Amino acid sequence: MQTKTFGNGGPAVSAIGQGTWYLDRGDRQSAVAALRRGIATGMTHIDTAEMYGDAELVIADAIAGLPRQELFLVSKVLPSNASRRGTITACERSLKRLKTDHLDCYLLHWRGSYPLEETVATFDELVASGKIRSWGVSNFDVDDLDELHAVAGDGKIACNQVLYHLQERAIEHAVIPWCERNGTAVVAYSPFGHDEFPSPRSKGGEVLQSIADAHEASARQVALAFLTRAPSVLAIPKASRAEHAADNAGAGDIKLSAAEIAALDK
């Protein structure tokens, strides 16, 4: 599994991780097995949020007994909880549900009404206390990132987690370049979209499948390899079954040629 630096001077993290949105909606045993299979194949970067129902509890079951230092756990605070006291309480609640003593990264889920200064100061307080190792944001555009950078200073924003899939590539124009300039990792959520993955019968789907056949890979593996082609971009696909987790992990070993990238880009 390919790894990438997470943030400015941060740790090496699996380029393909595991998302958990809606993971609590299906069979619990299957979800736990999927996460464990993903971890076994190298997808040790696991993303969740307090908003994701019981996903944190599912993760706790999946990681029970595993070496904590080999995992990279990320959770998020809701904007409505992003006051000083609310952020601390939310973080402690997530730690308890995950049955861990720290988060590797803690994110503001999206921009809310609390001043960024208050949330950032609390994130720094959580870092100092050892409850989180780093912090970042989700769903921030360039204007938001500029404002956040002015508050936090250089090298503090570990990641920006954003929507990114083959049919939604707006972040390529300004967000990814901003993050690359500032040492901020980009984490792509919903990398297969929501019922938006290219049909095998579409032009894009045909190109995708042709490249997949050349690599003896699946179309989804090629899609993940394309999305994570930039050094700063990681992806967190969700899998509710073990075989899907293993398929996602296979994307971490695919190296697309310049011609293949150009064909997919077109």
Q: Please report, to the nearest 10 degrees, the dihedral formed by the alpha carbons of residues 170, 17, 103, 63 taken in order.
A: 150
Tens digits of residue pLDDT in 16-34:
999 999 888 889 999 999 9
Q: What percent of the chain has pLDDT over 90?
A: 91
Q: What is the mean pLDDT of the chain?
A: 95
- On the question of pLDDT at 112 being above 90, the answer is yes
| Coil vs helix vs strand at 234 | strand
- The model's pLDDT over 37-90, given as tens digits with 9 standing for 90+, comes to 999 999 999 999 999 989 999 999 999 999 999 999 999 999 999 999 999 999
In the predicted model, is pLDDT for residue 152 greater than 80?
Answer: yes
Quote the pLDDT of residue 23: 87
Whole-number Å distance between alpha carbons of 74 and 94: 10
Q: In this predicted structure, what is the pLDDT of residue 84? A: 97
pLDDT at 196 over 80: no
- Residue 202 pLDDT class (50, 70, 90 cuts): confident
pLDDT score of 227 more than 90: yes
Give the model confidence (pLDDT) of 95-104 as tens digits.
999 999 999 9
Q: What is the enclosing helix (H) or strand (E) of 31?
A: helix 28-40
Q: What is the pLDDT of residue 24?
A: 85
pTM: 0.94
Question: What was the pLDDT predicted at 249?
Answer: 96
pLDDT (mean) for 233-261: 95
Q: Secondary structure of 122-179 in the HEC alphabet? A: HHHHHHHCCCECCEEEECCCHHHHHHHHHHHCCCCEEEEEEECECCECHHHCCHHHHH
Is 195 a residue whose pLDDT tops 90? no
What's the confidence (pLDDT) of residue 121? Answer: 98
Q: What interhelical angle do 142-152 and 116-128 show, nearest 10?
A: 60
| Token code pair at residue 139 | 């769903």
- Which tokens sit at 17? 């991780």
Predicted local confidence at residue 200, as pLDDT:
78
